[in-house]
Structure 1
Amino acid sequence: MRELVYYVAVSLDGYIAGPDGQFDAFPMEGDHMQGIFERFPDTIPTVAAAAMDLDQSAGRFDTVVMGWNTYAVGLPHGLTSPYRHLDQVVFTRSHLHDDLGERPNLTVTDENPVEVVRRLKAEPGRSIWLCGGSALATTLVDEIDRLVLKRSPLVLGDGIPLFAASGYAPRAFDEVSTTTFRSGVVISEYARRR
């Protein structure tokens, strides 16, 4: 069965973006980027990977799921299909009929995310990347098989948390690996404890 992997950048104080969705504080230069290019080349937007001549075929994902706010970050830049090398599923209730133009390999849906992810997990293929955001991650928390956290050495002070508040309900994960880079970024992978 395929795994759902929440792969995301996070600050030391647990935010994946600023209050208005800003993510420019996260370091985009440094030795951690080479680690990302090697281990997670499929998480780089298709256009950026092509510009870097980055081979995305060896990645671990073939599908990405995300909420509308995460998806919409690329719209002002004309990115209507940011990860067109993957099957993309965007969850929304209010933007189903927006005219997005051409959007290869992208489905916009108001279906229940849990049902969609369970269906995807039952199909053959590689892992499924949960790209964000926090509300979707909270909805899918019991479907998440792995967390891959790119912890950056910064404190945002406010913003969009890794998971939205949903009531106290501990879920245990075991550390699989941790890599520390000179840039100060630490990439840790955790598997759900069964």
Structure 2
Amino acid sequence: MRELTYYVAVSLDGFIDGPDGDVSRFPVEGDHIEMILREYVDTLPDVGLQALGLVATGERFDTTLMGWRTYAAGFEHTRDPYPHTRQVVFSRTRTAADAPDSITVTDEDPVAVVRRLKSEPGTGIWLCGGGALAGRLAGEIDRLVLKVNPVVLGDGTPLFRDPVVAPDYRLERSTPYRSGVVVNEYARR
């Protein structure tokens, strides 16, 4: 069965972005970036892959899940951020008419969608964001990969907003980088 991984950057105080969706305080240079390019290339948007001359293989993730706000955050660059994956965007107000044909926009229950995706063949499923969607899917998340950034944001979108059911996790690996970022990898108990 496929796994759902919530792979996301987070501040020391538990926010995945600051006020108004600002992520500018998260470091985008440093030795932790080398790990991302090596191990998580499937999570790079197409514009980044092209700029770096990289190719996403789909070995880690072949499906990307996100809420509308996370999806819309990249509109200044593209409306098809991860064409190398199957992209599912959850929204209660937007429809397929608001996105390119390569994006599935749905108001279906995220838990039902994830359970169906897990039963299909493929590699991993990446929960890209945001906090409200992560809260709804908390009971379905098999792995957490948190890029803990050495900043305090004070406000913004929490890692989980109102989780209904959240399992316990065990720490599998914690890797500190000279950049100050610490990547913590957890698996569901």
Task: Give the TM interval when normalised to the shorter protein.
Answer: over 0.9
2:83 corresponds to:
84
| Worse overlay, 60-69 or 14-23 | 14-23
Query: In terms of mean alpha carbon deviation, does 145-154 or 51-60 score higher?
Result: 51-60
Q: Is residue 155 from structure 1 mapped to residue 183 from structure 2 by the alignment?
A: no
| Counterpart for residue 181 of structure 1 | 177
Deviating runs (4+, > 3 A) in structure 1?
A: 97-100
Alignment of 1:130-169 (within 5 A): 130-166=127-163
In structure 1, distance between residues paired with 2:180 and 2:112: 38
The aligned counterpart of 2:43 is 43
CA distance in 2, matches of 1:7, 1:149: 6
Root-mean-square deviation (CA, aligned residues, Å) is 1.5
- Cα distance, 1:184–1:49 mapped onto 2, change above 3 Å: same
Displacement of 1:98? 4.3
Between the two proteins, what is the percent identity of the paired residues? Answer: 56
Alignment of structure 1 residues 1-194 onto 2, 5 Å: 1-57=1-57, 59-77=59-77, 79-96=78-95, 98-100=97-99, 103=100, 105-166=102-163, 171-193=167-189
- Amino acid corresponding to residue 136 of structure 2 in structure 1: T
Query: Aligned AA for 2:32?
Result: H
Q: Distance in 2 between matches of 1:33 and 1:125?
A: 26
Matched residues, number: 189
Is there any run of 5+ residues in structure 1 with no aligned partner, and where? none
In structure 1, C-alpha distance between the alignment counterparts of 2:54 and 2:175, rounded to whole Å: 21
8 Å CA contact 1:41–1:59 kept in 2: the answer is no
CA displacement at 1:97 relative to structure 2: 5.1
